[in-house]
Chain A
């Protein structure tokens, strides 16, 4: 271990789960996530990882089984995309309410009808209200590393919330890149075994109790407030987890955000995942041509990095938000959240929404350059 290899985003995710010593895997296939569950199945069958593999009969059951396993004290993992993500949606919500720190990889894919298997971010963004922590990977190294960081954050006793790690369908999932596959000992140093601090379904370890039963509204409010508090706590936990990851592994992906070319920028481009990396490459060439453009990769959408974004926005005269998603009748989802953030922090920098790449349509550097130049020309 501790080797370099050229692997796909899905294989990187599988390595992340393997190195995190996941204990129960709930697996259901959907394009473009399938090679994750296939890789894990191969390793389980060969005895290379020691995890229980449940080949469930639906995504709804995948999240249900992962939740049950986590509630019984095991480190649980699952993965899905698009329609499968929507099919398990009520259980996604339930898992957060049940405070089960599952990690799920979401390989972003457009929603049907019509059928579309290519990359779009609307799927995972739909869960931004559920109480899950949301990581967005911009390259395969980050995909692998974010799985490990996600467990570290999710299982922290100040958080205890599930976390999803997104990667663009085909753009990352099926594209091979050089990735450092870390030494298991180093990962063990970074990520200790899961030890539930709150409750565990095990009569050998706990007195009888009931979880999740009916209660009156005034008690419900307190329970839900604790989720909001956990989200607020997670901001510091995420920052520390990223910092310590850099100390041990020497790799920095950003914490809540990652900036590129932001020094003395006049304009900033905000984006998620691989789109941000594309924007970064475009910004490099724009800079060479005299456009003072910076890029902010929004790495975490929940908890939303309000402070960080407001602070950066305050220093520039214009913002472009690239949304590879759409909330019909509203706006690009990321743009809408950024606009609300700026209002809250009384920053009046204008924001332009650019909806790009819907249904996996290409986002080319020329598209991004055009958006930037349009604003400069005004």
Chain B
């Protein structure tokens, strides 16, 4: 019998133990499960303040079967840089050093830190699980909250601000590996991490992680919501980087059909599940559509110039 990638994903070792303290239906912890399977046991996680600081479980228990170093909010990518440099000095340069954090810690407060590590092309992974707000502290808006979304600090919906295009920013840093991913496409995520493992240098992987309490949908619908994000063109799966003198960005197979707007499901299908978009006015809807168009247009222009 031929083994599929799904078989492999299912059969590889588990590094996430049951009994962790994530919310039911948490998207982030699913993503972590697949990522750790792809990274393997030769891995150190550096975790800034985030949901993952808490869903590890409370001392004296921990639910991750890899070495985990908990650090202050903005510092993760710099701590990881120090860890990696030390391991290189000591002759252990094949250990995976991975930052695992949320959009707050890696796109807002830690943005300069991530940018600095990218500029130095540190041989580390930075995984952002993007639940589009400061969820751990109770659903406050972040730079990654989409236009129009309600949070506790944008009670009428996010009017000021866009959704910071962090993955495009990382690509423009000229690092060798940047990708987006989704928990609804686990084999895509798994394979991306495996490919990234082969690359020396800075690797940035941005995973959309729907959050039931934060986005206000039933906790049985996490995968559905994640899939609709891709099917409506809201979240685009791609992979790229600057390698061998060429910079490229390639749409991943699950997102390729949606390059054609007529093939996308209607955005309302994605929005209707989520309480954070309730009472969505025309102005906010337009800003959200603009942001989606912006992303596709960047990709179009980028791939045309750099094909």
Contact = CB atoms under 8 A, between A and B. Distances in A.
Nearest to B81: A65
Nearest to B96: A203
Given A54-B82, A202-B95, A210 B64 contact: yes
A36 B87 CA distance: 24
A24 B112 contact: no
A61 B56 CA distance: 25
Interface in A20-46: 23-24, 26
A48 to B, nearest CB: 16
Contacts of B113: 57-58, 60-61, 64
A209 B59 CA distance: 11
Given A26-B82, A203-B43, A52 B92 contact: no
B89 A74 contact: yes
A328 B42 CA distance: 51
Best-surrounded residue of B62, B69, B80, B88 (most CB of chain A within 10 A): B69
Interface stretch (A134-142, A160-168, A214-222, A329-337): A214-222
Interface string B240-283: 00000000000000000000000000000000000000000000
A201 interface: yes
Given A61-B75, A212-B70, A54 B59 contact: no
A55 B120 contact: yes
Contacts of B95: 202-204
A69 interface: yes
Nearest to B75: A64
B65 A208 contact: yes
A352 to B, nearest CB: 41
B25 interface: no
Report the contact-size class of chain A (Cβ under 8 Å from the partner).
35 or more
Contacts of A94: 71-72, 75
A206 B65 CA distance: 12
Interface string B23-37: 000000000000000
Interface residues of B, number: 47
B67 A209 contact: yes
Contacts of B86: 23-24, 52, 68-74, 76
A58 B88 CA distance: 22
Interface string A189-214: 00000000000011110101111111
Contact of A23 (B67, B81, B89): B89
Contact of B41 (A67, A201, A203, A215): A203
B141 to A, nearest CB: 23
B193 interface: no
Contacts of B70: 210-213
A90 interface: yes
A210 B78 contact: no
Interface string B149-171: 00000000000000000000000
B172 interface: no
Contacts of A213: 53, 56-59, 62, 68, 70
Interface of A: 23-24, 26, 51-52, 54-58, 60-62, 64-74, 76, 90-91, 94, 201-204, 206, 208-216, 219
8 contacts: A56-B81, A58-B116, A61-B116, A64-B76, A203-B41, A210-B56, A210-B68, A213-B59
Given A64-B75, A204-B95, A219-B60, 5 more contacts: A26-B82, A52-B88, A64-B78, A68-B83, A213-B70
